[in-house]
Structures are given as C-alpha cells and as structure tokens.
Amino acid sequence: MVTPVWVVRDGAGLASWTNRRTAKVKRIRRDVRVTVAPCTFRGQLLGEPVPGRAELMDAEGTARVERLLSRKYPIWGRLLVLVNHRRKDPSVLGIRIGLAT
C-alpha cells in the first residue's frame, strides 16, 4: 500500500509521524517490515524502494520528530505541530524507520 509521508533524517535512519489511529499504525504493530522510496506528495515513485523496519516511538521520540519536521518544513510542519498541541489529546505518534537487517 502506497502511503506518502513527510520524513526527516533521524540519526542513521528516517523518522516520520502519523495519527495514532491510522491503519498505518495498526499495520506497523502487526508487522514492522516496511518499504520506503522517494515519491511525490501523491505517491508517484521517484526512486527504487528499499526494505526497512518501522518502530513506533514514545512521547519523547515523537516530540523529537515534531521538532525535526518543524525545521525541515517551516510553515506546514510548524502549523501541524501547533494544531496537534492545541488538542486535549494529542493524536500523533512518531515512527522511526531503519534499514532492514
């Protein structure tokens, strides 16, 4: 299933975020294997897919991803972080993506 996401470099891997209630989170909880590839915002592939492993992050990791995304995407990233923090129950969850071993 093609699911475009915003990503940032996080150490040796990548990181992203998503709403904790999405099917993406359910799939990662069931199977950590993922495939990542550069793509357009509509999901059109721009490069070769690479196998990886996804890990759902805790609150501290999610906060780090929010900071990294806000730096990389200064307008939209900051806006989305602000909207999420104004909610009574913040709904985002960080995802760490590393190379498959």
H/E element, 13: strand 13-19
Q: 59-72 and 76-86 helices cross at what angle (nearest 10)?
A: 150
Comparing 31 with 85, the larger pLDDT belongs to 31
User: pLDDT of 11-58, one tens digit each?
Assistant: 999 999 888 889 999 999 999 999 999 999 888 999 999 999 999 999
Mean pLDDT for the stretch of residues 83-87: 70
Identify the residue whose tokens are 């602000």.
82
- Give this prediction's pTM: 0.82
Comparing 92 with 35, the larger pLDDT belongs to 35
Instruction: Say yes or no: domain 8-99 is CATH 3.40.50.300.
Output: no
**Three-class secondary structure of residue 91 per DSSP:** coil
pLDDT of 82 strictly over 80: no
What residue ranges do the domains of the chain occupy?
A: 8-99
Residue type, 55: E
> Which pLDDT does position 89 carry in this prediction?
65
